Amino acid sequence: MNLKRIGSWAIFILAVIYFLLPLVGTLEFSLRARRGVYSLDAYRNVLDDPQFQQTLAYSVILSIATVILGVLIVAPTAFWVRLKMPRLRPVVEFITLLPLVIPPIIIVFGYIRLFNTSSILPLTGSARGTDFLLAAGYATLSLPYMYRAVDTGLRAIEVQTLTEAAQSLGAGWATVLARVILPNIAVAILSGAFLTFAIVIGEYVIAALLNRPAFGPYMVWMGSNRAYEPAALAVIAFGMTWASMGVIQLLARRTRFTKG
Amino acid sequence: MAFIDLTSLGKSFGPTPVVRDFDLALHQGEFVSLLGPSGCGKTTVLRMVAGFETPDSGDIRIEGQSLLRQRASQRQIGMVFQSYALFPNMTVADNVAFGLRVAKLAPAQIDKRVDEMLDMVGLAAMKGRYPYQLSGGQQQRVALARAIAPRPRVLLLDEPLSALDAKIRVALRTEIRTIQRQLGITTLFVTHDQEEALSMSDRIVIMNAGRAEQIGTPEEIYNRPTTRFVAGFIGTLNVIEGQLGTEGGTVLTCAGGRLALPGTFGASPGETLSVAVRPQSLRPAPIDGDGLRGTVRHVEFLGAFTRLHVSCGPNTLLVDCFARDLAANLSVGSQIALTVPPDEVLRLSA
């Protein structure tokens, strides 16, 4: 084994330690709820907590709504920009990157000011209206990831030729999108969807300031009131993210329409 | 009345005119090729007919009805693309059924039509496969079946054979023509390959710089090119310039000798003319006879024939001859005389 190879392995091992050590520490700590022995008590407490189930269910439903909203906004936009307005691509890319530099607190205060009970569109006046605002906020936060995922998917197919082929067979824009373009970028959309899911599950600021029972505020509440349960919650959340990544890989492999 | 009428079509991309004052009339069931070099506007014409580009001027009519207000999806025009453009997420059968499903045909009717189409292109056994599981030739057959399945009024073929290897290309062009004749579908075919155009078409449109340079049957285009561009684009050609004379019949006096011309050749004595001669029309003759004289500069053996490069004054003429027509001692540096049957000399207008 030469020196270069040893160096590569050393960097790899250091990286693994850097990433895994905190996780192992968190996992180990989450198992110490019972004095002197390892147990799953903290996990049991978390899973049995009705608030955990309610907030998780709420966030999962909201993440599905966010993904639908995101796909409805991003997929036609990215498709249209690629097909008809390629010159606008840098502008659209810049706009989709804005949520990375504008803090969520700005977005949520903007929402509260624009859609409060004394405004023309008083969305914050009802639970459903606030839920919609929350989904819109999440869709904005996930825009950089969703747009890039969809755009990468579109880059991998011959958008213009496939669109024209479908049109020459009598398909209108809706049919082209629904039956030709979206199925061929399904894996890319799924990647974006799971990234969105990960953002929605952990997001705190917008949900807390709109006062909605989401998983993010629940994790913060748990962190400030319990000892071992937050660690268990962190491991569960981490597990969910990994499971999402696994599903992306699995689906990517099963829906491969090209050689190789 | 023509089935399809393209009148005074014009299209520019930015300041660059791509198609200029283009006229073409296609009769029902006709197979017409648009042939020309890259960037001559042939694909733009096709895309305007398909509805993917909007003409800046002119009109496109099918059976007298203008298509300009119709979207591509409403025109009932089938199209086959160079890159096949099969839907990767669909099987062969689903690809062929796509247009029929969009047209909301009954499922039983769709199944029947898909089977008919796949039988026609010889891919019935592959209906369950995905495009990536097929070869290029098979994919293009599926694309053809998919385009004709909804029984379009017109079929557009945009360089459908260019991505295929030579053997498949030859087989598929015969197949496309057979199917086109069988269905009697009016077809507009874009190609830059003259052999394809000559072998497949009822008529050929030679395009140059956005304009139709000459429209005619393959024989007319090959044997009677009207311009220097057409003559040069179709096949190999020698262009000879000279002065028209009338001593002992109509003759062209040029560098290297004299060429006999048919009749008056539509020109007046003393006029300077450009004529074209195909390499196979030039024949070696006895050195002391009439014709052009030159020196053999290069001899190329090309299998069925031998190509001589002969310098006649400032020109180098290409001469294709069968081995039996060549003198045994002919080699580089030999003096040679060349004659041309008068009716094989082509007059060029520009």
* pLDDT tens, residue by residue, B61-82: 999 999 999 999 999 999 999 9
**So what's the pLDDT on residue B97?**
97
Q: What is the pLDDT of residue A255?
A: 66
Q: Is B304 exposed, middle or buried (0-12, 13-18, 19+ CB in 10 A)?
A: exposed
- The answer to whether residues B311 and B294 touch, using CB atoms and an 8 Å cutoff, is yes
A165 Cβ contact list (under 8 Å, min separation 6): A180, B79, B81, B85, B86, B87, B143, B146
Contact between B346 and B275 (Cβ < 8 Å) = yes
Asked if residues B222 and B33 have their Cβ atoms less than 8 Å apart, the reply is no
Residues of B in contact with A171 (CB under 8 A): 73, 98, 102
Are A205 and A108 within 8 A, CB to CB?
yes
Residue scoring higher pLDDT (A57 or B257): A57
What residues of chain B lie within 8 A of the CB of A184, using their CB?
Answer: 87-89
Parse chain A into domains and list their residue ranges: 50-254
**On the CB side of A176, how many CA atoms lie within 13 Å of its CA?**
23
pLDDT, tens only, B258-270: 888 887 777 788 8
Question: What kind and span of H or E run contains B5?
Answer: strand B4-13
What are the boundaries of each domain within chain B?
A: 4-225, 236-347
Does residue B284 carry a pLDDT above 50? yes
pLDDT at A260: 46
The set of residues, in sequence order, having a beta carbon less than 8 Å from that of A230 and lying 6+ positions away, is A219, A222, A223
Find the radius of gyration of the CA atoms of chain A: 22
Partners of B185 on chain A (C-beta within 8 Å) are none
Burial B90-121 (b: 16+ CB within 10 A, else e): bbbbbbbbbbbbbbebeeeebeebbeebbebb
Dihedral pair phi/psi, residue B10, rounded to 5°: -140, 145
Strand-strand pairing, B57-62 and B4-13:
antiparallel
At B343, the pLDDT band (50, 70, 90 cuts) reads confident
Chain A environment of B146 (Cβ under 8 Å): 165, 169
- Give the least confident one: A14-23, A172-181, B185-194, B278-287: B278-287
One digit per residue, the tens of pLDDT, for chain A of length 260 reads 688 899 999 999 999 999 999 999 999 999 999 988 999 999 999 999 999 999 999 999 999 999 999 999 999 999 999 999 999 999 999 999 999 999 999 999 999 999 999 999 999 999 999 999 999 999 999 999 999 999 999 999 999 999 999 999 999 999 999 999 999 999 899 889 988 988 898 899 999 999 999 999 999 999 999 999 999 999 998 888 888 788 877 877 766 565 54
Contact A184 B130 (CB under 8 A): no
How does DSSP assign B276-303, residue by residue?
A: EE-GGG-EEE-TTSSSEEEEEEEEEE-S
What's the pLDDT tens digit per position in B232-253?
Answer: 888 888 888 888 887 777 888 8
Of A168, A170, A184, the CB nearest to B88: A184
Q: What is the ipTM of this complex?
A: 0.82
Pick the CATH number of B236-347 from 2.60.120.560, 3.30.160.20, 2.40.50.140, 3.40.30.10: 2.40.50.140
Residues of A in contact with B79 (CB under 8 A): 164-165, 168
Give the residue numbers in B contacting A (CB under 8 Å), as ranges. 50-52, 71-79, 81, 83, 85-89, 98-99, 102-103, 130-132, 143, 146-147, 150, 156
Which uninterrupted H or E stretch holds B239? strand B238-245
Contacts of B89 in chain A (CB under 8 A): 180, 183-184, 186, 255, 257
Cβ A171–B98 below 8 Å, yes or no? yes
To probe the interface with A, which of B75, B86, B87, B92 has the most A CB atoms within 10 Å? B87
Yes or no: domain B4-225 corresponds to CATH 3.20.190.10? no
Residue B323 identity (one-letter amino acid)? A
- Chain B residues touching A165 at Cβ < 8 A: 79, 81, 85-87, 143, 146
Count A/B contacts: CB-CB distance under 8 Å: 75
Three-state DSSP class for residue B207: strand
Mean pLDDT of chain B: 91
CATH topology assigned to domain A50-254:
MetI-like fold (1.10.3720)
Residue A166 to residue B51, Cβ atoms within 8 A:
no
Tell me the C-alpha distance between A146 and B273, whole Å: 68
Of the candidates A175, A144, A3, the one whose C-alpha atom is nearest the C-alpha of residue A74 is: A144
Angstroms from A169 CA to nearest CA on chain B: 5
